[in-house]
Amino acid sequence: MKHKGLLLVGLLCLISLIFLTACQKQEQEFEKSFLAMDTLISVSVLSNDEALAEEALTAVENKYMEIDVLTDRFATGEDAQKSDICCINEAAGKNAVTVAPEVWEMISLSLDWNQKTDGAFNIALGPLMDLWGFGDNPTAPPTQSAIEQVLPLCNIDDVVTDQSNCSVYLKKRGMSLDLGGIAKGYATDKVIEVLKSYGIQNALINAGGNVYALGARASGDPWKVGVRNPRRSVDIIAKMDLSDLAVVTSADDQRYFIDDGKRYHHIMDPKTGYPANGHMSDTVVSASSTLADILSTSLFVMPQDKALALLQQISDVQGVLFVEPDGTIKITGDLEAFTELTGSKIVD
């Protein structure tokens, strides 16, 4: 009887294993796309519970929208009153503004990384971005004198914060903050927390080039993420096999214009007031989407030697894929282990 009991237990365990395996195979992919943070955001989740998946996708959209509202510096009317960034900018030179904890965290991180990157990451570039007018399809660069007049309004030291009441104060009238270099990455990390709270273990998020690969595909293989050719947008220059990692690319081909044969793009060097020209693109891979977002902008602006020196000090970055002005591809860190170059030609 004892042996029969053991046999019965073993049989039940085998049945349970088969049942669990069957449940796992039933996972389906559910998708949702929406506009937020000035871009198209696409989210795919794997689940064997359709109702749960749809609820999680709605929560994801709500979180992106929530952070979008708080950080939109171009909001108008009633929407401007909901935007902490609009309120801060409107109060420049007048008074401090108490902000939501998430906005406070983004600004605090930004100030910290401004120091770590020797000023390359600067959220006080609102006046400079407005001068260049990349939101209005510019066709020519501003004059040198106009840039020199605006740069004093971009001094990060004139951003005063008070942790005791989560307030932010801009010392000079005309100053304005722009969280474009951190907001999408930060929001994506918050969204990953949302998905995990719903028990979602496998998902792929693409927030306008800010990608996060959570877990794995339905097959169990890592998610495949492509790195776009900065001179031929339909081509992929590299493919990465990723799991629980964020990928963020900064490039000179997203918002730009050509004047007298020279390319002017929207990634500004805070020290010169002109577009940075050290790279065509850089792609940062990290477990933190926030960090990848910050670094993709910072490394694009920094000289190559300083960028590589900074990377050596950061442990939670898997590596960076740089595309240099001559089309050369350079890969740092551990990226080679899970990156395949396609051979796509960048420069003719």
As a whole-number percent, the residues of the chain with pLDDT over 70 amount to 92
Of the listed ranges 118-132, 142-156, 248-262, the one predicted with least confidence: 248-262
> What's the pLDDT score for residue 138?
86
Q: Which domain holds residue 112?
A: 74-170
- Distance between CA atoms of residues 153 and 147, nearest Å: 10
Confidence class for position 23, pLDDT limits 50, 70, 90: very low
Look up the CATH number of the domain holding residue 139: 1.10.3980.10
Q: Tell me: do 313 and 235 sit in the same domain.
A: yes
For residue 26, what pLDDT band results from cuts at 50, 70 and 90?
Answer: low
Clarify whether residues 157 and 229 are in a common domain: no
Return the minimum-mean-pLDDT range out of 14-23, 305-314, 324-333. Answer: 14-23
Give the pLDDT confidence score for residue 5 in this predicted structure: 43
The SS3 of residue 4 is helix
Q: Is residue 180 part of a domain?
A: no
Q: pLDDT tens digit string along 198-228?
A: 999 999 999 988 999 999 999 999 999 999 9
Q: Which two tokens stand for residue 199?
A: 């028990």
For the chain, give the mean pLDDT. 92
> What's the pLDDT at 348?
56
Q: Does pLDDT of 311 surpass 70?
A: yes
Judged by phi (left if over 0) then psi (alpha if -120 to 50, else beta), residue 208 lies in: left
Q: Is the residue at 57 inside a domain?
A: no
Find tokens 């740092």 and name the residue. 332
> Confidence band (pLDDT; 50, 70, 90) for 20?
very low
- Answer yes or no: is 250 within a domain: yes
pTM score, whole prediction? 0.91
Q: Which of 170, 199, 232 is the last residue of a domain?
A: 170
Count of domains for the chain: 2
Q: Give the tokens for residue 43.
A: 């989210």
Whole-number Å distance between alpha carbons of 348 and 341:
18
**Closest to 70 (Cα-Cα) out of 24, 93, 102, 43:** 102
d(CA 27, CA 141) in angstroms, rounded, equals 52
Q: In this predicted model, which residue has the larger pLDDT, 275 or 208?
A: 275
Instruction: Quote the CA–CA distance of 316 and 329 in Å, as a whole number.
Output: 22
332 and 229 in a single domain? The answer is yes
